[in-house]
Amino acid sequence: MAANYWESTQRRHWQSTREQLDVLRKKLEDEDQNLVQMYPLAQLRHLSIYFNQQIGRLAKRLGVRQQAMATAQLYIRRFYSKVEIRRTNPYLVIATAVYLACKMEECPHHIRLVVSEGRTLWPDFFSSDTSKLGECEFFLISEMSSQMIVHHPYRSLTALQGTFSLTQEESVLAWSIINDQCMTDLPLLYAPHIIAIMAILLALVPRPNQTGAQSANNSAGNIASAAHAALSSFSQPKAGAPEKQGGGARTKLQRLANWLAESNIDIEAIVDCTQELISFYEVYEQYNEKLTREQINRFVKARGLDK
């Protein structure tokens, strides 16, 4: 339920294993083999990065908060686990998801405003007809079976930052890592508290050249290597706690490791989350915005989905 993740529709209906997710997506592609062959697309992670950028642009114009953006991203991810992307106009889906997420997160915007901003951002791919967005809202809600209450890791992060005495900087970094994981499948795979702990872990691992990494994805390589180090420290727990000079973060890391060892939390899951995010950061390096955009625009135009 709303306060209880364990009873939530998110856990009961929208959490799956990687294998299940793969089967779902494979099935969608198989059902539309012609489309898939005719319109090649970048890998899903790159599409997610692109969607995230577009959501960010729209959200900026509307003054939407991060949490509503995260909700919109999860709606889109759920939707595209059930509907082949080449059958849709992703720009319309993005705007609709933002419109709906804002209502759910209690920061609503008028449909006309959302449409006019969408029109400004994507003039060649976005109809000025508000009923198109209204129709897409039905589509979106229907595919989600009206299950629109979502649980994000932000709340767990807020609850845990005191437990691990995170500094302002560490909290901000963990927060931005949570933002980044919205571009991965993690929200469909793991409970929000698992993801929050992963973010805290990554925020605490010492980085080789510690700059005030605002957005984690700028220093993907750094984080990746540091996280690998942290993971290996987990594989040899309580091995004489190397907390000589490392200072605050290292002690905190040790505290996190001890805390995890005493909890019932699935360490494997956290390791897996960490790896997923690291490989996402690696993939991010190869992201080609122009190519991704052109591929999307091509099928939208060719199939007249912008009409």
| Residues making contact with another protein (CB under 8 A) | 1-4, 7-9, 65, 67-68, 87-89, 92, 99-100, 103-108, 111, 130-139, 141-142, 145-149, 303-305, 307
- CB-nearer residue toward another protein: 127 or 218: 127
Q: Under a CB-based contact definition with an 8 Å cutoff, are residues 188 and 16 in contact?
A: yes
Q: For the CB of residue 18, give the shortest distance to another protein in the complex, in Å.
A: 26
- CB-nearer residue toward another protein: 157 or 257: 157
**CA 191/CA 152 separation, integer angstroms:** 9
Q: For the CB of residue 76, give the shortest distance to another protein in the complex, in Å.
A: 15
b/e per residue 30-58 (b: at least 16 CB within 10 A): eeeeeebeebebbebbbbbbbbbebbebb
Backbone angles phi, psi at 240, to 5 degrees: 65, 25
Angle between helices 220-235 and 192-204 (to 10 degrees): 100
3-state secondary structure of 176: helix
Q: Under a CB-based contact definition with an 8 Å cutoff, are residues 29 and 84 in contact?
A: yes
Q: Under a CB-based contact definition with an 8 Å cutoff, are residues 195 and 187 in contact?
A: yes
Q: For the CB of residue 207, give the shortest distance to another protein in the complex, in Å.
A: 32
Q: For the CB of residue 39, give the shortest distance to another protein in the complex, in Å.
A: 15
- CB-nearer residue toward another protein: 102 or 201: 102
CA 184 to chain centre: 5
Q: Under a CB-based contact definition with an 8 Å cutoff, are residues 41 and 295 in contact?
A: yes
Q: For the CB of residue 148, give the shortest distance to another protein in the complex, in Å.
A: 4
- CB-nearer residue toward another protein: 18 or 301: 301
Q: For the CB of residue 145, give the shortest distance to another protein in the complex, in Å.
A: 7
Q: For the CB of residue 127, give the shortest distance to another protein in the complex, in Å.
A: 11
- From the number of C-beta atoms within 10 Å of its C-beta (0-12, 13-18, 19+), residue 297 rates as middle
Q: Residue 68 carries which side chain, given as an amino acid letter?
A: A
- CB-nearer residue toward another protein: 91 or 280: 91
- CB-nearer residue toward another protein: 103 or 293: 103
- CB-nearer residue toward another protein: 54 or 184: 54
